[in-house]
Amino acid sequence: MMNKYLVIVLFLPLMVVAQQADTQNEGLLVSRADGSTAVGVRTGVNYSKTLLRDFDLSRAYYYMSRGMKEESLPIWTISGGVTIQQQLSTHWFLSADVLFQRKGFRIEIDIISNNDDYGSFLFNYFSLPVMINLESGGRISAYAGAGVYVSYLSSMHSVSPYSSESYHIVEETKVFEKMDFGLAAQAGLIIPVEACFKIELQGAYSYGLLSALNPEKDFYRNTRQYHRSLMISLGYLWLF
């Protein structure tokens, strides 16, 4: 229920702006001139989970759960940051974001407890996705893009019915890699509001290629842990 209210609050401005854009002068279009630059902010919700490979339950009593054998249970968090776009031609543009993203997962602790308890692991990342995008024409245009991302792990937080612990210095955990890298894809709608201002509704997916667990310090032997996330956001951009 809380997630529903969160989405409503975040995306209510989209309905207002769409109505405003529809009533604007027909000649008002956001400039797509070659070389134009757009800068703005982006905020939204992040749906994430973790994929495990070679998970050894015999070495991980704390993690024993149905949800951690291959795929974890997903979590919803809030993400946001700044965004910049460089128009390359009428239909192509380059985009880059600097985002604070909280990724992670939930686990069902069904072996330790019979009370359907859940534990959560939250990883706080600063992420830089860079993508090349193809944009359609029209007043309200659609676009899709693909590229890569790199992320830096600033801290992590774990919560369970039995303990709560924060690690604000990554080195203290000794098991998590500081850097993450992977593939990224996105798609969205561009809604012009003024000649030099636009709003975007965007969905962006990230597919981690590097294991979040340090192979040299991993307590769980050869376990590999990969992040998967989908961010749904609104972007507010000014053109220069």
- pLDDT, one tens digit per residue, over 172-217 is 456 788 899 999 999 999 999 988 999 999 999 999 999 887 766 6
Whether the per-residue pLDDT at 20 is higher than 70: the answer is no
Tell me the three state secondary structure of residue 171: helix
Give the pLDDT confidence score for residue 142 in this predicted structure: 96
Whether the per-residue pLDDT at 84 is higher than 70: the answer is yes
Mean of all residue pLDDT scores within the chain: 76
Give the pLDDT confidence score for residue 169 in this predicted structure: 42
Query: What does the alpha-carbon distance between residue 236 and residue 213 come to, in Å, rounded to a whole number?
Result: 35
Query: What does the alpha-carbon distance between residue 17 and residue 105 come to, in Å, rounded to a whole number?
Result: 34
Q: The tokens of 137 are what?
A: 């024409």
Whether the per-residue pLDDT at 162 is higher than 90: the answer is no
CB 190 within 8 A of CB 30: yes
* Closest by CA position to 61, among listed 156, 153, 162, 155: 162
What domains does the chain contain, in order, with CATH numbers?
A: 2-239 (2.40.160.20)
> Which residue matches tokens 């998970």?
55
Whether the per-residue pLDDT at 158 is higher than 60: the answer is yes
* Closest by CA position to 155, among listed 178, 128, 124: 124
More confident: 115 or 90: 90
Q: The tokens of 186 are what?
A: 């996105």
Tell me the three state secondary structure of residue 64: coil
CB 121 within 8 A of CB 67: no
Q: The tokens of 76 are what?
A: 């919803």
> Which residue matches tokens 């040299």?
216
Query: What does the alpha-carbon distance between residue 191 and residue 20 come to, in Å, rounded to a whole number?
Result: 10
Whether the per-residue pLDDT at 139 is higher than 70: the answer is yes
pLDDT band at 170 (very low <50, low <70, confident <90, very high): very low
CB 238 within 8 A of CB 195: no
Query: If you write DSSP's letter for every residue of 206-225 in order, what string do you get?
Result: EEE-S-SB-TTT-TTTT-EE
Query: What does the alpha-carbon distance between residue 232 and residue 204 come to, in Å, rounded to a whole number?
Result: 7
> Which residue matches tokens 């534990």?
119
Whether the per-residue pLDDT at 66 is higher than 70: the answer is no
Residue 43 backbone dihedrals phi, psi, to 5 degrees? -145, 150
Q: The tokens of 165 are what?
A: 């612990």
